[in-house]
A and B are shown apart, each in its own frame.
Chain A
Amino acid sequence: MQSVVLLVSALLLAPLYSAMILKVKAFFGGKKGPPLLINYYTLIKLFKKGSVYSTSTTLIFKLGPLVSLCTAVMILLFLPIAGHPPLISFNGDIILVIYLMALARFFTIAAALDTASPFEGMGAAREAFFPIICEAALFMMLILFYILTGELNLAAYFAGAQPLGLWQSAGAPLLFVVLALFIVMLTENARVPVDDPATHLELTMIHEVMVLDHSGPDFAFIELGAFYKLFFYATLVARLLCPWTFDVPLLDLIFFFGVLCLVYMAIGVTESVMARYRMDKVPQFVLTSFALVFFATVITLEFIK
């Protein structure tokens, strides 16, 4: 029951959390920024509109937004929110989660190519390239966590007191993992310094350019999917960053959502204090996440022996 309530609240709260990034960025820019509920307003606006389809597109183009939203909701089913056991959990679920995200990406890319726009083709090429490195980092993380816990599901790493257990057995190298996960989060969710969600310049975009031709409810699906995906990653970072639990359910809840807030703010701060990397430097940045986890694993293995 609790898990269902948490899932629903996650579905409802994700847009609010994303708006926090905008607030932080506005603060650094000396502006008031949009209201915290901006994303809800945008979603309502988009749902009220109709979608426009180019005559040159096919069913694939319409499937893109649907699949990306569905997979984003599905991965939340496996997510231990606020340390509570997730709705669905089984041995190896994390592999499914990673490839559900890949499925979403596949359909987004296919939909982008379906438009035959040179911009979208360019964005698709970039979007296909960077996550490969992310995937390597994620699997390296998986290897480390598997060695530490002997389990292969998300709940075993991120539910209850499990993250604390990870810290106790791995120690300081886990800091590297937190940092790597943060980098993967920035990359996967098209944030600065990898991508710029605020730009209007098609030639520099990665994710945004692929969804240029989507409109109305379709675009709302994509936006919503993006909020959930970011929520998923931010939850993992939050649990790993502050693994403590207090045995008082309400306190745990407040603590978790507070830390989550900090993670989102950290994204906002990152976006405010640095420029994005040149496109050909991005792989190096993303590869850093892999290197960090790799070293964390090597150090930990040595330590455990």
Chain B
Amino acid sequence: MKPGFLQIDNGKAVAIASIPDLAFDDFRNAALDRVADGAQVVHFFAYKTGQQIRLAVVLRTQHLLVATCDAPHTFPSLTAVCEPFHMFEREIAEQFGLRPEGHPWLKMVRYHANQEGLADIFGNAYEHDIPGNYPYYAVEGEEIHEVAVGPVHAGVIEPGHFRFNCIGERVLHLEIQLGYQHRGVEQLLRAADFKRLPTLAESIAGDTTIGHSLCMAQAVEALSGRAPDAGARIIRTIALELERIANHAGDLGALSGDVAFLPPANYFGRMRGDFLNMTLWICGNRLGKGLVRPGGVLFPITDEDRKVLSGRLNELTPQVAHTIELLFQTSSVRSRFEDCGVVSMADAAKLGLVGPAGRASGLAYDVRRDFPTEQYPHIAIPLSMQTGGDVLSRARIRASEVLQSIAMIQTLLAQPIATECVPPADMTPLAPSSFVVTLNEGWRGELSHCLLTDPAGNIERYKVKDPSFHNWNGLAMALRNTGISDFPLNNKSFNLSYCGFDL
């Protein structure tokens, strides 16, 4: 193993003192070397300890690797050499006012002032609305036209600004500007009262409630040494899979609706409700709010529940299978999906795409297989992978994951292991001067939270990364040379989170 990195496990705390503290140049070279050898970036962020701002990077190969260094005020950009750092460096510049010299596209991420009160890297005063002091990417020419969509959209969706540079119907470039929902989640989590942590984590992105609260719970558990019992692990796994099914089913329906093929749109729309109602049955909330807590779960699954849930799944499985068949057997649907919005494997790797979007482009990465947590080490998870990189591939992956997840839940329901429900307990202080990173495969892909504690056991830095942080640029890439009328279809095939990105 090359020096410079500490190998860590998903959801296991390590002392910050044991993490290699490198000089910046060594840090940069080591990180670039690793990525050149095929490592992917999980986290790259700045944090403040005492008066010193430091950088931490978490990479993944077959293992998770971590290293830190003191952050210079300006540093030679890693992105200039290695694309996967692109968004991370922009985020560091925005959050801490550090300048990555030579960054090819140093643009604000969420449009807020840095937390150090330093001079703004982007020259923004933040009195004006987004984008402030930023001229959008522009294409010039006689027949070029620009279409600006949002931030307020038709339909009940989140705000985001999309700017298409088109020649006729063909999109040359799509620029996506988010940040309209920036709430300062990381700061809130850092300063929050312990009891509020789960509520905050659940509210990062409503459609990924279970995913984010699971990441938070695992991190706190690692730092407090309170592991959940086997029953709780099973329930949490079931909940995460239910979340996946509900979202995938909803999106498959929406994809069908976007090409004006209504029957599957209606059927999937109804079934999404049925799956959400199963989560409702478990914990009283369709999104799973209030279920996952550090140390376990707040609601048990009794034998009676198992019977009900299993019965509902048995009823739904043939319906799901039939509707998937209806969708993919319809040639007019396939002709719309096929070759639409292709992201090549090389591009996907450089953008660091994760989850179904990455697997659709041939990147064989699934946190449930590679860094399993909860009950995943004990169940077989087949890899769903496609190589087309188009809407069809993304849709197929989602369809196959729905069926796999149903089978997984059935397996888990067949294990009648009881659980002690945890009463909300204060687990502070957490282990002092520790570092933990938790990864889970949310339905959009790799979700990760990273916690650092100070010598008193308080949270010093809470870093959240939603898979959307990686994947939004994938959507922009997919739109290149695609008809502008196919944007909604591509958008739905990714269906990324605005609030998960904006934090």
Query: Interface residues of B: mostly helix, strand, loop or mixed?
Result: helix
Question: Which B residues are CB-close (under 8 A) to A275?
Answer: 256, 259-261, 330, 332-333, 335-336
Total cross-chain contacts (CB, 8 A)? 87
Q: Mark A114-152, 1 if CB is under 8 A from B, else 0.
A: 000011011000000000000000000000000000000
Of B143-151, B186-194, B309-317, B374-382, the one with at least 4 CB within 8 A of chain A: B143-151
List the 6 shortest-distance A-B pairs measured between CB atoms, nearest first.
A29-B266, A275-B259, A196-B260, A275-B261, A201-B488, A276-B260
A118-B148, A278-B486 are known; give 4 further A-B pairs, CB within 8 A. Answer: A193-B260, A204-B488, A277-B336, A278-B336
16 contacting pairs across A/B (C-beta < 8 A): A29-B262, A30-B267, A30-B270, A118-B145, A192-B260, A193-B260, A199-B257, A199-B260, A200-B154, A202-B149, A271-B262, A276-B260, A276-B336, A278-B486, A279-B483, A280-B483
Task: For the complex, give the distance between the alpha carbons of A273 and B262 in Å.
Answer: 8
The reply on B265 being an interface residue by CB < 8 A is yes
Contact with B along A216-238 (1 / 0, CB 8 A): 00000000000000000000000
B483 surroundings in chain A (CB, below 8 A): 278-280
- Residue among B260, B270, B333, B488 facing the most chain A CB atoms (10 A cut-off): B260
A198–B265 CA distance with the chains assembled, in angstroms: 12
Give A104 to B68 CA distance when docked, in angstroms. Answer: 68
How far does the Cβ of B134 sit from chain A's closest Cβ, in whole Å?
20
Chain B residue contacts of A278, Cβ below 8 A:
335-336, 340, 483, 485-486
Contacts of B263 in A (CB 8 A): 28-30, 272
Complex Cα gap A188–B488 (Å) = 24
Partner of A272 from the list B258, B262, B333, B487 (CB cut-off 8 Å) is: B262
Known: A30-B266, A200-B154, A279-B169. A271 touches B488 (CB 8 A): no
Q: Are A122 and B147 in contact (CB under 8 A)?
A: yes
Within 8 A of A (CB), among B218-264: 256-263
Interface membership of B123, Cβ < 8 A: no
> Shortest distance in angstroms between B68's beta carbon and chain A's nearest beta carbon?
45
Contact among B149, B262, B487 with A25 in the assembled complex (CB-CB below 8 Å): B262
Cα separation A273 to B484 with both chains bound (whole Å): 25
A274 within 8 A of B: yes
CB-defined contacts of A196 to chain B, threshold 8 Å: 260
Q: Does B117 contact A (CB under 8 A)?
A: no
With a CB–CB cut-off of 8 A, which chain B residues contact A198?
A: 260, 262
Give the distance in Å from the alpha carbon of A203 to the alpha carbon of B163 in the complex: 12
Q: Does A305 contact B (CB under 8 A)?
A: no
Q: Which residues of B contact A280 (CB under 8 A)?
A: 169, 483
List the A residue with the shortest CB-CB distance to B337. Answer: A275
List chain A residues, Cβ under 8 A from B330. Answer: 273-275
For residue A25, which residues in chain B have a CB less than 8 angstroms away from its CB? 262
Q: Please, which residues of chain A bring their CB within 8 A of the CB of B145?
A: 118, 121
Interface, chain A (partner B; CB < 8 A): 25, 28-31, 118-119, 121-122, 192-193, 196, 198-204, 271-281
Tell me, in angstroms, the Cα distance from A199 to B335 when the chains sit together: 19
CB proximity of B390 to chain A, nearest CB, Å: 12
A79 CA to B346 CA in the complex, in Å? 60
Partner of A200, one of B155, B266, B267: B155
Q: Is B262 a contact of A203 with CB atoms below 8 Å? A: no
Task: Give CA–CA (A143, B484) in the complex, Å.
Answer: 37
B488 to chain A: closest residue by CB: A201
- Nearest B residue to A198 via CB reads B260
A204: chain B residues within 8 A (beta carbon): 258, 485-488
Check A28–B148 contact: CB distance below 8 A: no
Which of B146, B256, B488 gathers most chain A CB within 10 Å?
B488
For A273, what are the chain B residues with a Cβ–Cβ distance below 8 Å? 330
Known contacts A278-B335, A279-B169: does B267 contact A201 (CB below 8 Å)?
no
Of B169, B265, B332, B333, which contacts A29 at CB under 8 A?
B265
Q: Closest CB of chain A to B125's CB: distance in Å?
A: 29
**Of B258, B332, B487, B488, which is in contact with the most chain A CB atoms at under 10 Å from its CB?**
B332
Residues of B within 8 A of A274 (CB): 261, 330, 332
Q: By the criterion CB–CB under 8 Å, are B336 and A202 in contact? A: no
* Distance between A190 CB and nearest chain B CB, rounded to angstroms: 11
In the bound complex, what is the Cα–Cα distance between A121 and B266 (angstroms)? 32
Enumerate chain A residues within 8 angstroms of B147, measured Cβ to Cβ.
118-119, 122, 203
Nearest chain B CB to A12 CB, angstrom units: 28
Return chain B residues, CB-CB under 8 Å to A30. Answer: 263, 266-267, 270
Shortest distance in angstroms between A278's beta carbon and chain B's nearest beta carbon? 6
A196 to B487 Cα, complex, angstroms? 15
Docked Cα-Cα span, A196 to B488, in Å, equals 13
Instruction: Name the CB-closest residue of A to B484.
Output: A203
Whether A201 contacts B332 by the Cβ 8 Å rule is: no
Contact B332 A277 (CB under 8 A): yes
Q: Report A244 CB to chain B, min CB distance, Å.
A: 34
Complex: chain A residue closest to B338, CB-CB: A278
Smallest distance from the beta carbon of A48 to chain B beta carbons, Å? Answer: 23
Cα–Cα distance between A275 and B148 once the two chains are bound (Å): 27
For chain B residues 127-180, which have a beta carbon within 8 Å of chain A?
A: 145-149, 154-155, 169
In the complex the two chains form, what is the Cα distance from A35 to B29 in whole Å? 68
CA distance A276 to B265 in the complex (A): 14
Query: Complex formed: what's the CA distance from A202 to B157 in Å?
Result: 14
Contact of B485 among A31, A203, A271 (CB under 8 A): A203
